[in-house]
């Protein structure tokens, strides 16, 4: 079988929590294959494919073991130059967490921004009373590896779709634990520049489904915000993103619909085991001058079918109106934040 191949360099801009079988940070191909699959779906969805057609094409290209499909092996091949453990073994090695360098205000409390965004992979040590990695090591900011990707020249979706997905991965992708909060921000050296205005969808129209179909937009343009300031180190950027995330949650009248669960907040009908990932995703990005910025992008969708059915409301229109109100308020707050600015298409 004739194959297209492409070699890229993965470069992390923030630490990444990519766990191996022992939950230790390690370079592995499955997380990057999952990323490619995710962004490939968005490429097709933005071109008008419905979920049934996407599912069928995905099964053919990426393989599947679904009970209602013929089992297939993946036609996509990924290879790293080596599988190795990460290099970040101690959290304080870059200065984060010292002297309040990454603290933010959450209500009346002063909290560590890294812990606020990375609770789970990060924890407070009971012995030293300082922040530490729950499982050592992590992949550190600045680490790189070569990633080789091969796919069939005659793939049903065409090589261009793979190239588009790789471009979106590089532009918006984050990977690993707490990646929606900006951890595991990376770029792919060698990928195309993403022409991401091709994937804009009016955000209210996406609330009929529980899967991401594109990058949100409203009457003002793309729902993408960037910090006005830039920094030389990633920890300062994450501190700003943590501040914004805390402010949006604090000011929301229905914050459980932004993400769930929420400490000390319950939503009638939803259990503590229920999960609603935040569709406002954070990333650290680097410009051509090497400056680091924080970026927030809304990939709108509604909660999963299971959660949607349990959400209190008189009817579908009432529940949708509630979700629209929550995110309209969030968008307005981000627009009013003087430390942020909209990114144009």
Q: What is the pLDDT of residue 95?
A: 44
Whole-number Å distance between alpha carbons of 175 and 185: 7
The predicted structure's pLDDT at residue 66: 67
Q: Could you count the other beta carbons within 10 Å of the beta carbon of residue 290?
A: 8
**Boundaries of domain holding 257:** 200-342
pLDDT per position as a tens digit, 302-327: 999 999 999 987 788 999 999 999 99
Q: How many domains does the chain have?
A: 3
Please indicate, yes or no, whether residues 187 and 207 belong to a single structural domain of this protein: no
Residues 151, 263, single domain; the answer is no
Q: Order of strands, edge to edge, in the sheet holding 144-152?
A: 77-80, 144-152, 3-12, 186-189
Whether 121 and 142 share a structural domain: no
- Distance (Å, whole) CA 55 – CA 149: 21
pLDDT at 69: 67
Question: What residue has token string 């910025």?
Answer: 293
Q: Backbone phi, then psi, for 124, in 5-degree steps?
A: -85, 130
Cis status of the peptide bond prior to 282, with omega within 30 of 0:
no
Q: Please enumerate in sequence order all residues whose Cβ is within 8 A of that of 225, keeping only pairs 6 or more positions apart, or say none.
A: 295, 296, 297, 334, 335, 337, 340, 341, 342, 343
DSSP reduced 3-state for 304: coil
Q: How many residues does the chain have?
A: 345
Residues 34, 182, single domain; the answer is yes
Residues 149 and 128 in one domain: no
pLDDT at residue 187, as a whole number: 98
Residues 222 and 330 in one domain: yes
- Say if residues 217 and 203 touch (Cβ distance below 8 Å): yes
Same-domain check for residues 286 and 328: yes
**163 and 17 within one domain:** yes
- Separation of alpha carbons 203 and 118, rounded Å: 28
* Predicted local confidence at residue 109, as pLDDT: 83
Three-state secondary-structure class, residue 178: coil
Task: Give the predicted TM-score (pTM) of the model.
Answer: 0.93
On whether both 307 and 162 belong to a single domain, the answer is no
Taking 70 as the pLDDT cut, the residues of the chain under it are: 1, 21, 66-69, 92-101, 128, 155-158, 345
């Amino acid at each position: 079988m004739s194959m297209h191949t492409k070699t890229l360099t993965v470069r992390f801009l923030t630490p990444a929590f990519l766990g191996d079988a022992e939950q230790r940070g390690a370079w592995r191909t499955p997380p990057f294959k999952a990323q490619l699959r995710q962004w490939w779906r968005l490429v097709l969805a933005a071109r008008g494919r419905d979920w049934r057609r996407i599912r069928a094409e995905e099964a053919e290209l990426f393989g599947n073991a679904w009970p209602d499909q013929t089992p297939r092996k993946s036609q996509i091949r990924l290879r790293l130059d080596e599988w190795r453990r990460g290099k970040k073994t101690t959290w304080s090695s870059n200065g984060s967490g010292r002297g309040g360098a990454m603290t933010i205000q959450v209500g009346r409390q002063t909290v560590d921004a890294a812990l606020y965004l990375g609770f789970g992979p990060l924890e407070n040590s009971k012995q030293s009373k300082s922040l530490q990695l729950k499982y050592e090591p992590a992949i550190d900011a600045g680490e790189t590896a070569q990633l080789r990707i091969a796919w069939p020249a005659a793939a049903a979706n065409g090589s261009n779709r793979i190239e588009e997905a790789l471009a979106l991965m590089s532009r918006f992708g984050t990977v690993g634990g707490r990646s929606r909060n900006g951890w595991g921000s990376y770029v792919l050296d060698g990928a195309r520049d993403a022409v991401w205005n091709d994937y804009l969808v009016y955000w209210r129209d996406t609330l009929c489904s529980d899967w991401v179909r594109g990058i949100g937009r409203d009457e003002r343009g793309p729902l993408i915000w960037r910090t006005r300031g830039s920094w030389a180190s990633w920890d300062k950027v994450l501190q700003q993103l943590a501040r914004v995330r805390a402010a949006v949650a604090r000011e929301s009248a229905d914050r459980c619909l932004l993400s769930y669960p929420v400490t000390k907040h319950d939503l009638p009908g939803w259990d503590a085991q229920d999960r609603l990932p935040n569709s406002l995703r954070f990333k650290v990005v680097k410009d051509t001058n090497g400056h680091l910025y924080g970026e927030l992008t809304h990939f709108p969708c509604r909660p999963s079918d299971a959660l949607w059915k349990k959400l209190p409301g008189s009817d579908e229109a009432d529940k949708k109106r509630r979700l629209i109100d929550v995110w309209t308020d969030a968008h307005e707050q981000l627009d009013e934040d003087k430390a942020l600015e909209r990114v144009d298409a």
